[in-house]
Chain A
Amino acid sequence: MPEMDMMKKVPVREQDPKERAKNFDEVCLGYNEEEARQESLRCLNCKNPLCVKGCPVSINIPAFIQEVKNGDYEKAAQIIAKDSALPAVCGRVCPQETQCEGKCVRGIKGEAVSIGKLERFVADWAREKGIRPVLEASKKGKKVAVIGSGPAGLTCAGDLAKMGYDVTVFEALHKPGGVLVYGIPEFRLPKDGVVMPEVENVKALGVEIRTDVIIGKSETIDELLEEEGFDAVFIGSGAGLPMFMGIPGEQALGVFSANEFLTRNNLMKAYREDYDTPISCGKQTVVVGGGNVAMDAARTALRLGSSVTVVYRRSEKELPARAEEVHHAKEEGICFELLTNPVEILTDEKGWVKGIRVIRMELGEPDESGRRRPVEMPGSEFEIPCDTVIMALGTSPNPLISSTTKGLEINKKKCIVADESNGETSRPGVFAGGDAVTGAATVILAMGAGRAAAKGIDGYLS
């Protein structure tokens, strides 16, 4: 390896953009051992490590990087495992640039240490060597039910199992993993290669996962607590119902929510010829929205053979998606129409999408979110021809659980009200966290909430 510039990250290898635009294999190839060792040397092992403060689950980052320097990857994995049940997932999908790496002292003068890529290296190494977390705690003889097997639920379940609780996770879909399985595409987060082994690790701690059970329908939280002998419940049921714009033409054939498009492709594996679930993706796709889900939908449509334009009403600076995702999308050839907002979806005589009418926007005064409010520019409407429109506008909470649980307070936005520090809801013994509480956010924030709730549940049951 050539002499390295300590101000810069060791670059990570990626699939060539032209190549990867045609397949669903993972884009980022990760560090090999030598690259990881090189990168680890950049860590200053700060006495007061700010990176740890930036991590929602407070992984002891300098300590694990120290073990990478020493070449003791197993020990590095053990250090991470104390705080994270899903390191191979987090190493891939966490927005490190605004969390651990955003706080890294190295980042002041140069580039932050590539903490995410190092975490990924350690987690992948441990998985490939077949190293599993070990269970040390003695049994407490108390039962906890966890609703949802996404990042919040898995983290909460893993932590509780480590403390000695009997944990049963209830999952509505046929496969555990939640958004890690139905939402985030294979090319960012391999399912069989990365997600399932981490789910297996949680199971190895003694957690039972029951798929195909819809809490709120098959049985209620009241029944779990009153009839089935659970001592506490954690709700990590996720975000919910996809939102639409309410513009003319939205019911047209060829208009999808990003959730539907991604679920068909990721959970149901519609991109594979040997799976039955169909996906309808044309040759020209417009994705509306600027978050990570919009980028995932856009890059998925591209891989299904469509040209793709992302339409977003604010400017590039306000794009809520991770910079890395936007960068990858552009590299792959996705176009961006920024400061542009749809006003109507145009249809042909058979009801299929044939285009989208949009209007240019300019940024006005800041709104309640602190971002400058986009304002329509009169007379600037134009049409973008397309045959598929994917709406990636966020979600509103699913009423399934809140409407069937007695005494569970919800807020104006219909999210479950829960204490951020311990997950407590208005109902004793019922805790909640993740998107069900915050509305759509990130994997790691959901994990942080799952962790906090595990501590809260332990406090409640002790």
Chain B
Amino acid sequence: MFEILEAKLLAEKIYRMTVKAPNVARSCEPGQFLIVRTDEKSERIALTICDYDREKGTVVIVLQAVGASTMKMLSLKAGDSFADVVGPLGRPSDFVSEDLEEVKKRRYLFVAGGLGTAPVYPQVKWLKERGVDVDVIIGTKCHDTLIMEDEMISVAGKEHVFITTDDGSYGRSGMVTAVVEDLVKNEGRKYDICVAIGPMIMMKFVCKLTKELGLPTIVSMNPIMVDGTGMCGACRLVVGGKVKFACVDGPEFDGFEVDFDGAMKRMALYKTEEGRKLLELQEGNTHHGSCGA
């Protein structure tokens, strides 16, 4: 069992949890993810690692209630436990294993969308701790859905964090792509690499823009997974015309090579089942159909 040490509401339906998971904490790096199973009957859910403390053996995850399984996870409080936490899974971000002197020469632009702010945080933290300068754009629907602003500012510095909201209720107004354009075209900022993590549709449009700008872009894919170790192939996607498994080949890929449309289509696979389960959880077992029904 993996004890939840802290559970904090960040925004509506979005929680931050600190979990005791020494096996993950001892070796995880920015870019990697883990899998949580709430109890015996729950799904295995892949989640990004938001922070970690090797000494204490803890990891921080940020999760949003989107389906029955995440709802169930969020019903747990500090002192409760998950049945399973396994990881780290996937490959760390490239910069972790690259020559640090080379990395230091680059200027990184991070683009975080919504929940994607969580996996961007440990990357920014890692780079800043090693003296690499980064700018971070955080895009979200409105002020109420903004998460981790203070944490991001504390690692990146206030002048390097740019917030934008779709409705203009906080920070700049509009999509993250508008901010990328502003920073590069109007404010003359120079970047060598962009890391975009967020909803697939956001990553798709960021890549469209950065391609025009000639700014190489890395994206982090979070498709449907079951085992997370390369066994099931549920997380397959097409990158550069080849089938890749997000769990072992990724989750980070060259954004210019990813077939986003195909990946987005595949996300729809279990939507009806997920929806059915959620209704069932909220309203009782009245929506259950047998397979194929």
Q: Which residues does A use to contact B, with CB under 8 Å?
A: 172-174, 182, 211-214, 217-219, 238, 240-242, 244, 246, 250-251, 253-254, 256-257, 259-260, 263-264, 267-269, 271, 273-283, 304-306, 350-351, 398-400
Query: A278 contacts B270, CB within 8 Å?
Result: yes
| Contact sample, A vs B, 16 pairs, CB 8 Å cutoff | A174-B83, A182-B231, A240-B230, A242-B233, A251-B238, A251-B259, A251-B266, A253-B268, A259-B233, A260-B232, A268-B44, A269-B41, A276-B42, A278-B270, A400-B230, A400-B248
Question: A280 to B273, Cβ gap below 8 A?
Answer: yes
| Chain B residues packing against A (C-beta within 8 Å) | 23-24, 26-27, 37, 41-44, 68-69, 72, 83-89, 226-227, 229-234, 236-238, 243, 245, 248, 259, 262, 265-266, 268-270, 273-274, 277, 285, 288, 290-293
How many residue pairs at the A-B interface have CB separations less than 8 Å? 140
| B268 and A351 within 8 A (CB) | yes
Contacts of B84 in A (CB 8 A): 174, 211-212
B269 touches A280 (CB 8 A): yes
B44 → A minimal CB distance (Å): 7
**Cβ-neighbour of A218 out of B27, B248, B277 (below 8 A):** B27
Considering the complex, give the chain A residue whose CB is closest to the CB of B268: A253
Chain A residues within 8 Å of B85, by CB? 212
Complex Cα spacing A238 to B262, Å: 30
- Given A218-B24, A399-B248: A241 in contact with B230 (beta carbons within 8 A): yes
Given A174-B83, A214-B89, A263-B227, are A277 and B43 also a contact pair (CB < 8 Å)?
A: yes
Please give me the 3 A-B residue pairs with the lowest Cβ-Cβ distance, nearest first: A278-B273, A260-B232, A257-B233
Decide if B236 touches A251 in the complex (CB within 8 Å).
Answer: yes
Most buried by B among A173, A182, A281: A173
Cβ of A246: which chain B residues have Cβ within 8 Å of it?
243
Given the interface contacts A211-B84, A351-B268, A398-B231, does A268 sit within 8 Å of B43 by beta carbon?
yes
The interface residues of chain A lying within 8 Å CB-to-CB of B86 are 172-174, 212-214, 218
- Which residue among B83, B234, B266, B290 has the maximum number of chain A CB atoms within 10 Å of its CB? B234
- Within the complex, the shortest CB–CB distance from B88 to chain A, in Å, comes to 6
CA distance A331 to B197 in the complex (A): 51
Within the assembled complex, what's the spacing in Å between the Cα atoms of A250 and B237?
10
Q: Given contacts A172-B86, A259-B233, are A305 and B23 in contact (CB under 8 A)?
A: no
Known contacts: A174-B37, A306-B292. The answer to whether A398 contacts B248 by CB under 8 A is: yes
Q: Given A241-B231, A263-B232, A399-B248, are A281 and B41 neighbors across the interface (CB < 8 Å)?
A: no
Say how far A439's CB is from chain B's closest CB, in angstroms.
Answer: 15
Bound CA–CA A275/B293 (angstroms): 18
Q: How far is the CB of B248 from chain A (nearest CB, A)?
A: 7
Report B286 CB to chain A, min CB distance, Å.
12
With a cutoff of 8 Å between Cβ atoms, the chain B residues found around residue A283 in the complex are 292
What residues of B have a CB within 8 angstroms of the CB of A182 in the complex? 227, 231
| A214 with B229, Cβ < 8 A, contacts A279-B291, A280-B269, A304-B292 known | yes
> Which residues of the partner chain B approach A253 to less than 8 Å between Cβ atoms?
265-266, 268-269
Nearest-Cβ distance from residue A5 to partner chain B, whole angstroms: 43
Q: Are B69 and A276 in contact (CB under 8 A)?
A: yes
Q: Which residues of B contact A273 (CB under 8 A)?
A: 285, 288
**Is the pair B87, A214 in contact by a Cβ cutoff of 8 Å?**
yes
**A275–B229 CB distance below 8 A:** no
Given contacts A251-B265, A268-B44, 20 further A-B contacts (CB under 8 A): A212-B85, A212-B86, A214-B86, A214-B87, A218-B26, A240-B231, A241-B248, A253-B266, A253-B268, A257-B232, A260-B226, A260-B232, A260-B234, A268-B43, A271-B291, A276-B43, A276-B69, A276-B277, A277-B44, A278-B270
Whether A244 lies near B233 (C-beta < 8 A) is yes
Q: A276-B42, A283-B292, A351-B265 are in contact. Are A263 and B226 (CB under 8 A)?
A: yes
B276 CB to closest chain A CB, in angstroms?
A: 8
Closest chain A CB from B196 CB (angstroms): 22
Contact B292 A260 (CB under 8 A): no
Query: Min CB distance, A275 to chain B, in Å?
Result: 5
Instruction: Give the nearest-CB partner of A282 in chain B.
Output: B292
Known: A214-B229, A260-B234, A398-B229. A281 touches B292 (CB 8 A): yes
Q: Are the C-beta atoms of A218 and B273 separated by less than 8 Å?
A: no
**Given A278-B274, A399-B248, are A242 and B226 neighbors across the interface (CB < 8 Å)?**
no
